[in-house]
Chain A
């Protein structure tokens, strides 16, 4: 079977919206409720965060959601249980995003096998070194047809981008700025000035921009220079204040995807 991320990008090359949320947040059993709401929404990809006690690359909003999820009792075993039957209804690509230590403790091979078993299509581990991926992860993930997505920034050197592009599957995660998640607003001037050069080094993968993409305005901006964008912190904030996930998520994704009318 074709990987769902590849299938998506084969059909759709622009305005791709990926939504990130933390598993087990705001409440333990919300994972699947939110997943189903996203499935019905205008989101194209779904990223589920594996909560970790020490999320280095995350700003305060995702940190807090991780902490709450852990207090709620979320862990990888439980997450895979929650996702067990998800593919009966869910058709959209699903990715897991987390930190390498969680995967190491669960067991690297076991983790990817579980991903394959429940129908997870891709994995993002921001602290996974490329060398370690090549040594231990690549053989396993390629056999299971699971994509491992790498991150690049405006400051990543061309040679390094080429290596990460080659290793990355599904898409490349382009950081909007030098920042932790949710830290800034929109696409930085730095990225705008360098994005053409970045693209020259990317041969294989579509590009999704993440970190600091908060809503319609930032999403439109990102879509002008990439295939789409990822919203995380702003979506978590929505979940924090929402009393009706289904309605609010449909509304949020619809507004984000509405093209701004040029004035």
Chain B
């Protein structure tokens, strides 16, 4: 977990003008403790041994780098899928959950809280808490509890308490607010296990480091397959942006590697029903971090929309706000329908049902111009089991439309 410099976080927690820690004073000690200890602990030999061991034998890493022959033919280039969908619990989220639970253990915390939208991070957190024998409370918006019933059931079976959040708009942003409020009320014994590269410093940097195993593996795998470490493109979807941050991490300083982040346009960026934060947002503060977010002129945070619950976040990690500002990464957006089509296409062509989030990255393939000899890495962040109902409904709609 070597630090990156040019695009890494500054000592006081900023990426350019983004980041920082905008938190009530009660949390100051917790944040200071994390800030002063996360690097030391996560770079210690003991931690690294345990982290590597769990990633290997519990999570199932390294995840394969799969040459997608049929997809490559379709787009007339060379596409490799980084199979984060094959991780235990079905997405990249577990990498970060393992890292943070080990950190929480070192800090002597007994009670773990987390926020979740679609439930993937909630499941990952409940999983590592079961493994470590820790108390787990997951905050989830009432709306999401209703639309993500299977993940709620998984969390409960894993022993977590799922708290349905009724405040505000009853989705991910409110679940995050409620988790922070819990932390304010229990600063002594509680560890807040944040699921993305969001929140106050040092969370964005810490989560990016834990997820950087993705790009670290890609480098090694490409070296074995092609004899060179760097691809021409790395493409990943972005909600808060943790899988993208991890997939970009070790390529940030290699400026010849083009980094593409894919946001959810929802029904279109001008439709008023979108989650494409970088397209429609402006600078502000959300969940303790200065970043780009969706808000009214008055500064009220607005509700995003995407068919994919995992991309349905009104902010974006400060690292992405910065990479976008300095043009180190390019961010594009994909609509619901484009993502659905891309998911069906991958399923048919390669026999892999992707998560709706990852389907946004897949749809980006059709928006970019590749050369025949170029190497394209697509981070397949999660598997699609949780989205089956959405896919089935879409297939039925298509069938119906054809008949009429």
Task: Looking at the assembled complex, report how far the CB atom of B269 sits from the nearest CB atom of chain A, in whole angstroms.
Answer: 21
Decide if B25 touches A54 in the complex (CB within 8 Å).
no
Task: Assess whether B180 is interfacial by the CB under 8 Å rule.
Answer: yes
State whether A151 and B299 are in contact (beta carbons under 8 Å apart), knowing that A54-B168, A104-B284 are contacts in the complex: no
Interface residue ranges, A against B (CB under 8 Å): 52-57, 59-60, 63, 67, 70, 75-77, 99-106, 126-129, 131-132, 150-153, 155-157, 160, 164, 175, 178-180, 183
Decide if A179 touches B25 in the complex (CB within 8 Å).
no
Task: Assess whether B28 is interfacial by the CB under 8 Å rule.
Answer: yes
CB interface residues, B 290-323, toward A, < 8 Å: 295, 297-302
Decide if A151 touches B20 in the complex (CB within 8 Å).
no
Given contacts A54-B168, A59-B181, A152-B25, 12 further A-B contacts (CB under 8 A): A54-B286, A56-B177, A56-B287, A57-B181, A60-B167, A77-B298, A100-B22, A105-B298, A129-B22, A132-B20, A151-B24, A179-B26
Decide if A57 touches B184 in the complex (CB within 8 Å).
yes
Q: How far apart are the CA atoms of A59 and B183 in the complex, in Å?
A: 13
How big is the B interface, by class?
Answer: 35 or more
Sampled A-B contacts (17; CB under 8 Å): A54-B174, A60-B167, A99-B285, A101-B286, A102-B299, A105-B284, A128-B22, A129-B21, A129-B23, A131-B12, A153-B25, A156-B25, A156-B28, A157-B29, A160-B28, A164-B25, A179-B185
Decide if A56 touches B301 in the complex (CB within 8 Å).
no
Task: Assess whether B173 is interfacial by the CB under 8 Å rule.
Answer: yes
Task: Assess whether B64 is interfacial by the CB under 8 Å rule.
Answer: no
Interface residue ranges, B against A (CB under 8 Å): 12, 20-26, 28-29, 167-168, 173-174, 177, 180-181, 184-188, 282-288, 295, 297-302
Give the interface centre of A52, A56, A105, A160 by most chain B CB atoms within 10 Å.
Answer: A56
Decide if A54 touches B177 in the complex (CB within 8 Å).
yes
Q: How far apart are the CA atoms of A100 and B293 in the complex, in Å?
A: 14
Q: Which 8 A-B pairs have the closest CB atoms?
A: A105-B299, A53-B300, A57-B24, A75-B298, A101-B285, A151-B25, A127-B22, A102-B299
Query: Which residues of the partner chain A approach B285 to less than 8 Å between Cβ atoms?
Result: 99-101, 104, 127
Give the interface centre of B177, B186, B285 by most chain A CB atoms within 10 Å.
Answer: B285
A105 to B, closest residue via Cβ: B299
Decide if B187 touches A52 in the complex (CB within 8 Å).
no
Query: Which residues of the partner chain B approach A155 to less than 8 Å between Cβ atoms?
Result: 26, 29, 187
Decide if A175 touches B26 in the complex (CB within 8 Å).
yes
Q: How far apart are the CA atoms of A97 and B318 in the complex, in Å?
A: 26
Decide if B25 touches A178 in the complex (CB within 8 Å).
no
Task: Looking at the assembled complex, report how far the CB atom of A28 sits from the nearest CB atom of chain B, in whole angstroms.
Answer: 14
Decide if B24 touches A178 in the complex (CB within 8 Å).
no
Decide if B167 touches A127 in the complex (CB within 8 Å).
no
Task: Looking at the assembled complex, report how far the CB atom of B308 sits from the nearest CB atom of chain A, in whole angstroms.
Answer: 22
Task: Looking at the assembled complex, report how far the CB atom of A23 sits from the nearest CB atom of chain B, in whole angstroms.
Answer: 12
Q: Contact check: which of A67, A152, A157, A179 meets B184 at CB < 8 Å?
A: A179
Query: Which residues of the partner chain B approach A53 to less than 8 Å between Cβ atoms?
Result: 168, 300-302
Decide if B181 touches A56 in the complex (CB within 8 Å).
yes
B184 to A, closest residue via Cβ: A180
Query: Which residues of the partner chain B approach A132 to less than 8 Å between Cβ atoms?
Result: 20
State whether A56 and B20 are in contact (beta carbons under 8 Å apart), knowing that A101-B299, A105-B284 are contacts in the complex: no
Give the interface centre of A70, A76, A77, A129 by most chain B CB atoms within 10 Å.
Answer: A129
Task: Looking at the assembled complex, report how far the CB atom of B257 sits from the nearest CB atom of chain A, in whole angstroms.
Answer: 34
Q: How far apart are the CA atoms of A127 and B184 in the complex, in Å?
A: 13
Decide if B24 touches A127 in the complex (CB within 8 Å).
yes
Task: Looking at the assembled complex, report how far the CB atom of B71 sits from the nearest CB atom of chain A, in whole angstroms.
Answer: 40
Decide if A175 touches B25 in the complex (CB within 8 Å).
yes
Query: Which residues of the partner chain B approach A54 to less than 8 Å between Cβ atoms?
Result: 168, 173-174, 177, 286-287, 301
